[in-house]
Amino acid sequence: MNRKNVWANYNATQLKAVDKFAEDYKKFLDNSKTEREAIDTIVNEIEEAGYRELNTLIGTKTKLKKGDKVYSVWMNKSIAIFQIGSDPIEAGLNILGAHIDSPRLDVKQNPLYEDNGFAYLDTHYYGGIKKYQYVAMPLAIHGVVVKKDGTTVQLNVGEDEDDPVFFVSDLLIHLAADQMSKKASNVIEGEALDLIVGHRPFVVESKEKEKAEKADSKLSAGEKYAIAAEKEEKAESGKLSGAVRRGVVALLNDLYGIEEEDFISAELEIVPAGKARDAGFDRSMILGYGHDDRVCAYPSMRAILEAKNLKRTACCILVDKEEIGSVGATGMRSHFFENAVAELMNLTKEGYNDLSLRRCLANSCMLSSDVSAGFDPTYASSFEKKNAAFLGEGLVFNKFTGSRGKSGSNDANAEFIAEIRRAFEKDGIIYQTAELGKVDVGGGGTIAYILALYGMNVIDSGVAVLNMHAPWEAIDKADLYEAKRGYVSFLQNIDFRNE
């Protein structure tokens, strides 16, 4: 197959558009390091474009017509966005589906402890990571703490220049002979990925401790809370867990009104600290956290905002939990998407019934917008070059994913692929096809097979990534822009049904 370099095929106007879109995307990455942050950012943008919340329309029994724009958020971690077309919804949707969760470290429910003068948060890694990549680098804490009274406290610490950062320690090379002899998978154990969050002991004069409960005490609310917790701990166990830990407890209470027990109902994610940056002297690439899969989620969202005069109803679905199997109430295996489509149909002239819903889903077409492994010359032996994805050569299609003998794969129909080829040729979209490395080397999966269970046509398509699942991943700006162009073309041109 003849391959094209996207950069060489763009004119001056398109090159300016590439740079502008890349800047917009970097801002999105910086503001969307967790699923909740991504949803907040997306909702703000689509509401400015005229999208209305589905539950509000249900409450007012508002009827939908061609051109109406609707969205539905589920548990602040997943979203389905719709633009109504001229055809009945039963005729099928054109769907762009991506995920907005990324590999990271999660804080456990009973996390705070002290060991030899250091305060730690205990973590559990999320998704497939090389554990050694998360040590000795600046990390930030993002997430929410929900208190017993229902108050939600949002945390984002480590991103501003004045913020503190956090880190996981590593063994100095001078003492690391045994460590260096281990397999890479065992160099850092999962239980060793604990975050250092403090080192200064909590010290209060005895007379101030005595006055802690009195109105004339000079202590802060956090210090009073730490002293009370100290008394309770000593009364229950006869011993204390450490002055550094109590210092962290006092600060959390002062800064955020959080008590230690509030960790039980918290969702805190540890991610690399810092902003996405241009990479290379020519600024052709972006280095950042979370390209997998926000580099597909963002152009999918922008595509449905730009798509016009649609025949088939367009949908952009952005989901949680893909990195751990698409499980749970906010993953693709949940019924929240199916429920949203049913509610959408119920607000249209055609109305809802179960058979119409089933026909809609079976007649739908989907691009499962997920990243592909970019060919890396440094590790060329892991790729089969004829069927590898190359940075700078456009949107990537993976007819199948899975591992080895296509295990766990969605394998797209040839007729559907031919329809996409026709549409992309019409709009001059540059694309390539690929597999995820050599047949016996590894593999991976996406949400494609889950939507395919409805009988709809689905194929994986996305952007090639270097350093996939590392704290800092790299993508090509032209591929990002071409993905958006391809997604718009898909929404506007595909009208394909199974015979």
Q: How do residues 315-324 score in pLDDT, each as one tens digit?
A: 999 999 999 9
**Residue 280 is assigned to a structural domain of this protein:** no
pLDDT of residue 164: 97
**In the β-sheet with 195-198, what is the strand arrangement from edge to edge?**
152-157, 139-146, 266-272, 104-115, 118-126, 195-198
Answer yes or no: do 240 and 225 share one domain.
Answer: yes
> Secondary structure of the chain: what % helix, strand, coil (to 5)?
40, 25, 35
Does the pLDDT value for residue 237 go beyond 70? no
pLDDT of residue 316: 98
Answer yes or no: do 56 and 159 share one domain.
Answer: no
Angle at alpha carbon of residue 447, lines to 88 and 27, rounded to 5°? 90
Answer yes or no: do 447 and 462 share one domain.
Answer: yes
Answer yes or no: do 126 and 267 share one domain.
Answer: yes
pLDDT of residue 230: 74
User: Is the distance from CB of 125 to CB of 323 less than 8 angstroms?
Assistant: no
Answer yes or no: do 179 and 216 share one domain.
Answer: yes
Where does the pLDDT of residue 210 fall: very low under 50, low under 70, confident under 90, or very high at 90 and above? low
Q: How do residues 161-191 score in pLDDT, each as one tens digit?
A: 999 999 999 999 999 999 999 999 999 999 9
**Residue 212 is assigned to a structural domain of this protein:** yes
Q: How do residues 355-392 score in pLDDT, each as one tens digit?
A: 999 999 999 999 999 999 999 999 999 999 999 999 99
CB atoms within 10 A of CB 131: 18
Q: Determine what percent of the chain is predicted with pLDDT higher than 70.
A: 95
CB atoms within 10 A of CB 146: 14
**Residue 1 is assigned to a structural domain of this protein:** no
How many residues does this entry show for the chain?
499
**Residue 279 is assigned to a structural domain of this protein:** no
Answer yes or no: do 369 and 488 share one domain.
Answer: yes
Q: What is the three-class DSSP state of 207?
A: helix
Structural domain containing residue 487? 6-102+289-493
CB under 8 Å, gap of 24 or more: what pairs does 303-307 form?
Answer: 303/96, 303/484, 303/487, 303/488, 303/490, 303/491, 304/81, 304/83, 304/96, 304/491, 305/45, 305/46, 305/49, 306/484, 306/488, 307/83, 307/488, 307/491, 307/492
Where does the pLDDT of residue 304 fall: very low under 50, low under 70, confident under 90, or very high at 90 and above? very high
**Residue 278 is assigned to a structural domain of this protein:** no
pLDDT of residue 338: 96
Does the pLDDT value for residue 116 go beyond 80? yes
**Residue 306 is assigned to a structural domain of this protein:** yes
pLDDT of residue 203: 74
Max distance between CA atoms of the chain, in angstroms, equals 84
- Last residue of a domain, which of 245, 272, 299? 272
pLDDT of residue 213: 66
d(CA 100, CA 321): 8
Give the chain's mean pLDDT.
93
Residue for token pair 């009988």: 455
pLDDT of residue 202: 83
Angle at alpha carbon of residue 159, lines to 153 and 162, rounded to 5°? 100
- Arithmetic mean of pLDDT, 387-407: 89
pLDDT of residue 207: 65
Answer yes or no: do 114 and 56 share one domain.
Answer: no
Answer yes or no: do 179 and 254 share one domain.
Answer: yes
Where does the pLDDT of residue 285 fall: very low under 50, low under 70, confident under 90, or very high at 90 and above? very high
**Residue 56 is assigned to a structural domain of this protein:** yes
- Last residue of a domain, which of 272, 299, 321? 272
Answer yes or no: do 194 and 266 share one domain.
Answer: yes
Does the pLDDT value for residue 238 go beyond 70? no
Provide the number of structural domains found in the chain.
Answer: 2
8-22, 34-48, 208-222, 337-351, range with the lowest pLDDT: 208-222
d(CA 54, CA 70): 6
Answer yes or no: do 97 and 113 share one domain.
Answer: no
Helix (H) or strand (E) holding 492: helix 477-493
- Arithmetic mean of pLDDT, 440-456: 88
**For residue 227, what are the contacts with CB-CB under 8 A and spacing of at least 6?**
204, 209, 212, 219
The CATH code of the domain that includes 323 is 3.40.630.10
Query: Residue 143 pairs with which residues in a beta bridge?
Result: 155, 268
- Last residue of a domain, which of 217, 245, 272? 272
Least Cα distance to 33 among 315, 386, 275 occurs for 275
pLDDT: which is higher, 232 or 13: 13
